Amino acid sequence: MELYYSLIEAFNQHSIKNNLDIVLNLNILSQDNSTAEINNIAYSVQYGDHFIDLREWLPNDNIDMYDSKLIREICIYDDKVVGLPITIDVSVLYSNDVLLKKYGEKIPKTWDELLRISKHIMNEEKKLNNTNLIAYNGLFSDNDSGIISIYEFVNSYRDSNEQSYPEPRSNKTINALKMMKKIKEEIGSVIYNNNNNNNNNNNNNNNNNNNNNNNNNNNNNNNNNNNNKNNNNNNVIYY
């Protein structure tokens, strides 16, 4: 937020010095001051009929500044450019370096490896009476964000980053869903299996899940850059 304020202040000073007669003000919409969901990129298709074509309002030079491949894949609805890929978030796999080193395992490079290593560590930890271990938190929540996590999982089955998103009926999508089901059944926790009738246990596990995510700045290893980090909570293997 401070970045926005500094940029606006810099522009306003520039405007004063150059007599532009323009003043920028920052208006922030959030869940605290708005009843509308201001960021729901998963529903472009549902609300697409209400979107305008940005090509009618923006110069082509502005649109051409963005990756044309991304625009074709995620910003087009009914031949209209309804959005621009201004920012891109990348999900990464965090690994519990403490548990991996404890059992002589390395960071997995495939989902098969993740499944095998998780089962190994879970079985060994159960011998130590650690029955609350969460093997993999895939962020498959009950809300709409859980659907996006499924898309990301399927996307991981591409052969390369340059390939397009797998078609729904393709072998890649089928194999991804089979692996997702296998992970759920073989190493899934209560967080994964929400059809448990014990709501209190579900709530406790979800609270633990939130705490683990909030404290993931210690003792974890980033799957992309393998940077070592320190973690005070060793009850999650991967998230």
Residue 43 has a pLDDT of 65
Residue 214 has a pLDDT of 40
More confident call, 56 vs 190: 56
Same domain, 169 and 117: yes
Question: pLDDT class for 49, splitting at 50, 70, 90?
Answer: confident
Residue 116 has a pLDDT of 97
- Tokens 């502005």 correspond to 62
Nearest to 132 by CA among 183, 93, 187, 189: 189
Same domain, 9 and 51: no
Interval 59-95: pLDDT, tens: 999 999 999 988 988 889 999 999 888 877 777 888 9
Same domain, 107 and 14: no
Report whether 214 contacts 231 (CB < 8 A). Answer: no
Q: What is the pTM of this model?
A: 0.59
Same domain, 33 and 58: no
Same domain, 143 and 226: yes
Same domain, 33 and 57: no
Interval 150-194: pLDDT, tens: 888 999 999 998 888 899 999 999 999 999 999 988 987 654 444
Q: Which domain range does residue 212 map to?
A: 94-238
Conformational region of residue 21, where left means phi above 0, alpha means psi within -120 to 50, and beta covers everything else: left
